[in-house]
Amino acid sequence: MNARVTTFLWDSAIKNGTTYKFKIRPQNQVGDSSSFDSPILSVIPSSPPDKMDKITISLITSDVAVKLNWNYPQDNGDSVDEYLIEIRGKDSEFYTYLTTCDGSIASIVFNR
């Protein structure tokens, strides 16, 4: 018997970072056969997200608030979970943590 291949699109159900097992059970008009458990498959992202390529900063209401906007980076196989936002003064050598925001966000406003 010649083997045939079919493709079934199920991309919304398979998540990166998750381990799966599949079960295959042949059946015919008489009934079901015993099932066969597949080897374990681990789905992992291909790499971390790319670095940010564009960030814009704007003052809102005469330096009372600052707005940051950015483009979503290439996610490389898994959606961005969150963004860590840090700040550094002009003469400072080190960054200070400000906040973390959801990966679906592309803009944030900081009020003084």
Q: What are the tens digits of pLDDT across the range 31-59?
A: 777 767 766 666 666 678 888 888 888 88
Does residue 102 belong to any structural domain of this protein?
yes
pLDDT of residue 25: 75
Does residue 13 belong to any structural domain of this protein?
no
Does residue 26 belong to any structural domain of this protein?
no
* C-alpha triplet 78, 84, 88: angle, nearest 5°: 145
Does residue 43 belong to any structural domain of this protein?
no
Does residue 86 belong to any structural domain of this protein?
yes
Q: How many structural domains does the chain have?
A: 1
Does residue 99 belong to any structural domain of this protein?
yes
Cβ neighbours of 67 (radius 10 Å): 13
Strand partners, 83: 101
Domain range spanning residue 69?
Answer: 55-111
Does residue 83 belong to any structural domain of this protein?
yes
The mean per-residue pLDDT over the stretch 10-34 comes to: 73
State pLDDT tens for residues 61-95: 766 788 888 888 887 777 788 889 888 888 999 99
Q: Considering the entire predicted model, what is its pTM?
A: 0.57
Spacing of C-alpha 32 from chain mean position: 39
Does residue 9 belong to any structural domain of this protein?
no
